[in-house]
A and B are shown apart, each in its own frame.
Chain A
Amino acid sequence: NAGVTQTPKFRILKIGQSMTLQCTQDMNHNYMYWYRQDPGMGLKLIYYSVGAGITDKGEVPNGYNVSRSTTEDFPLRLELAAPSQTSVYFCASTYSGGSNTEAFFGQGTRLTVV
């Protein structure tokens, strides 16, 4: 059982370049999330999805786009990378288990924009 898998683990981008961070989960979870973690800070929600075909903005969506064509995959697209997007990105998924709901995280993607 792989859980939540993110690729790549590390990436260096030049200003203005674009890239897609991949996230896939094999737990059949409806809910998926993208967070960013800046040094010494907590996690801020970028985008989330409550099911295939449905996405919504979180706290810090500017500069990012997402899509959710399947239950398993939730890629995060960066267009026109900026130094402010240097961060560690975490993908997470959860099931709607009521009070027993629990989130599972990927290992993260460390992105540097230079």
Chain B
Amino acid sequence: GDSVTQMEGPVTLSEEAFLTINCTYTATGYPSLFWYVQYPGEGLQLLLKATKADDKGSNKGFEATYRKETTSFHLEKGSVQVSDSAVYFCALIRMDSSYKLIFGSGTRLLVRP
């Protein structure tokens, strides 16, 4: 079945460091791919998305490119801030009659000043 695998956390970085969080997926067909962010005590917010191969999603300095050949959607940011500390979830949406979101296990990011 469809699945999403993302790197284990926590990831601890110093402010202004480069961030990569790896995400790979298994799916039939051509799913849309998402990164959601969850700040402490809050719900999930959409960070960025990509709907087809080679699309690049971007928002708030974060980027991810839909790579069909490697079935990956890695999240990157050139210079992280303390305010980026959160849990990041990679997800795909099944393009069938259910439109179910399938999530990875989440990666906690901690950015130190």
Contacts and interface: CB of A to CB of B under 8 A. Distances in A.
Taking residues whose C-beta sits less than 8 angstroms from the other chain, chain A's interface range is 20 to 34
B100 A101 contact: no
B100 A107 contact: no
Given A102-B49, A103-B93, A33 B32 contact: no
A43 B44 CA distance: 10
B25 interface: no
Nearest to A96: B99
Task: Report which residue of B42, B89, B95, B98 has the largest number of chain A beta carbons within 10 angstroms of its beta carbon.
Answer: B98
Contact of B51 (A99, A104, A107): A99
A52 to B, nearest CB: 16
Interface of A: 31, 33, 35, 40-43, 45, 48, 50, 56, 58, 90, 92, 94, 96, 98-108
